[in-house]
Amino acid sequence: MDDDDVLLRVDDLKVHYPVPRAGWFQPASVVHAVDGVSFSVKRGATFGVVGESGSGKTTVALAATRLAPVTAGGIMLDGQDLGAAEGEALRSLRRKVQIMFQDPYSSLNPRMRVGAIVREPMDLMQVGDPAERDDAVVELFETVGLRAEQTALFPHQFSGGQRQRIGSARALASRPDLVVCDEPVSALDVAIQAQILNLMGRLQDELGLTYLFISHDLGVVQHICDEIAVMYLGQFVEQADRRSLFQRPLHPYTWALISAVPSTDLGHARRARRIKLDGDPPSPINLPKGCRFAGRCPFAEDRCRQQVPEFRDYGDGHRAACLLIDENGVPPQEKL
Dump pLDDT digits (tens) for 229-247. Answer: 999 999 999 999 999 999 9
Q: How sure is the predictor about 88, in pLDDT bands with cuts at 50, 70 and 90?
A: confident
- Which residues have a Cβ under 8 Å from the Cβ of 160 and sit 6 or more positions away? 104, 105, 187, 188, 189, 192
Could you give the angle at which helices 160-172 and 190-207 cross, rounded to 10 degrees? 20
Q: What DSSP state is assigned to residue 197?
A: H
Distance CA 278, CA 300 (A): 13
Q: How sure is the predictor about 262, in pLDDT bands with cuts at 50, 70 and 90?
A: low
Average pLDDT over residues 88-117: 90
Distance CA 312, CA 323 (A): 10
Instruction: Count the Cβ atoms, other than its own, within 10 Å of residue 216.
Output: 17
Q: What DSSP state is assigned to residue 290?
A: S
Average pLDDT over residues 297-324: 94
What is the pLDDT, as a whole number, of residue 189? 85
Q: DSSP H helical segments within the chain, as ranges?
A: 57-64, 87-94, 114-125, 133-143, 160-172, 190-207, 218-224, 242-247, 252-259, 268-273
Dump pLDDT digits (tens) for 48-81. Answer: 999 998 899 999 999 988 989 999 999 999 999 9
Amino acid at 187: A
Q: Which CATH number fits domain 3-20+27-96+176-335: 3.40.50.10800, 3.40.50.300, 3.40.50.720, 3.90.79.10?
A: 3.40.50.300
Q: How sure is the predictor about 270, in pLDDT bands with cuts at 50, 70 and 90?
A: very low
The per-residue b/e assignment along 27-39, b for 16 or more CB within 10 angstroms, e otherwise, is eeeebbbbbebeb
Task: Kindly tell me if the per-residue pLDDT of 22 is higher than 90.
Answer: no
Task: Kindly tell me if the per-residue pLDDT of 106 is higher than 80.
Answer: yes
| Domain segments of the chain as ranges | 3-20+27-96+176-335
Could you give the angle at which helices 160-172 and 114-125 cross, rounded to 10 degrees? 20
What is the pLDDT, as a whole number, of residue 312? 95
Residue 311: CA count within 13 A, CB half-sphere? 17
What is the pLDDT, as a whole number, of residue 305? 94
**DSSP-derived 3-state class of residue 46:** strand
